[in-house]
Amino acid sequence: MKNIADKFLPFDLGNEADYQAWRERKLLAYPTRIEELIVEIKNPQQLTSAEFEALHERCRKTNMVIYAGPTGSDPDKAIPKSLGRQFGLTELDCNMGADDDGVTSLKVVEGKWRSGYIPYTNRPIHWHTDGYYNLPERQIHGLQLHCVSAAASGGENALLDHEIAYIHLRDSNPEYIRALMAANVMTIPPNNENGEQLRPARSGPVFSVLEDGRLHMRYTARTRSIEWLQDPVTLAAVKALNDFLDSSSHYIYRATLQPGQGLISNNVLHDRSGFDDDDEYTRQLYRLRYYQRIADT
């Protein structure tokens, strides 16, 4: 694995040679069909070395993989947790909706405070990375989803490797990247509820480079509850990103997770379509957010 110490700096705008070398390797034989990302596994709690390698290889290439296990609608949270652990994902983010163990159960919840938050409704969720509103030191680098039960219809996730989004924007106009790396480019207004401030306003970059040289992305396509720096290049960059996310690019994968299936990712861009439950089919997904990336990716 390359890191800053190796002086390999593909995400430095002043370093075109490293960028081009990285870009070429990245796009070489890059999977363009979701089927290429799906790996069947026998026991998620104890992967064989061949299964692990198949999953890990995809994570290294695309920052994500979908596993298909045999556990069906078994609601045991140990299934996704132990799977994550095998990929070095251990530091769970305990957010407001998470149960005490840091695993959030996403399903339609009537009433309670949760119904004010789209993840707990059946409405569509726009493109985003998880935890974009978190403090800088609590950024989410690993994201896992595990399906316990699927909806009667809908509930599809679109997925896009954030490094592909970076390549698209840098190739379009390197100034887009410069604008989106500004520390104050994106501000999330404070979260107030009943006059109480649950979270202060937070500003940060869309793209940033981690200490180990890896690329991190914070983003939401929401237009409410988000304030962009009002300069022409930033606004053009955001539009270019949104246009790409709304396009039919073959880099955008679409999957409706089925019981026993799940996603392991380096918090790639994703959305969710609306869905409908009925008496027989009630969508339930576990979501696990980590402060770490998948090990060795």
How far apart (Å, rounded) are the C-alpha atoms in residues 297 and 295? 6
How far apart (Å, rounded) are the C-alpha atoms in residues 30 and 245? 18
- Tell me the H-state helices in the chain: 16-27, 49-62, 78-85, 162-172, 174-180, 232-245
Interface residue with Fe ion, options 130, 161, 163, 277 (CB under 5 A): 130
Query: For residues 104 and 234, which CB has a smaller minimum distance to Fe ion in the complex?
Result: 104
Contacts (Cβ under 8 Å, ≥6 apart) of 113: 193
Question: Is position 93 an interface residue for Fe ion (rule: CB under 5 A)?
Answer: no
Min dist CB 120 to Fe ion, Å, is 12
Min dist CB 124 to Fe ion, Å, is 12
Residues binding Fe ion: what is the number (CB under 5 A)?
1
Q: Which range touches Fe ion (CB under 5 A), out of 24-32, 43-51, 129-137, 195-203?
A: 129-137
Min dist CB 130 to Fe ion, Å, is 4
Using the structure block, give the residue that is written with the tokens 């409405």. 123
Q: Which range touches Fe ion (CB under 5 A), out of 62-70, 128-136, 198-206, 217-225?
A: 128-136
Q: Which range touches Fe ion (CB under 5 A), out of 36-44, 99-107, 122-130, 277-285?
A: 122-130
- Tell me the H-state helices in 187-251: 232-245
Min dist CB 159 to Fe ion, Å, is 11
Min dist CB 242 to Fe ion, Å, is 17
Q: Give the tokens for residue 237.
A: 């960059």
Handedness of CA 64, 65, 66, 70 (dihedral sign): negative
Residues lying near Fe ion in the complex (CB under 5 A) are found at: 130
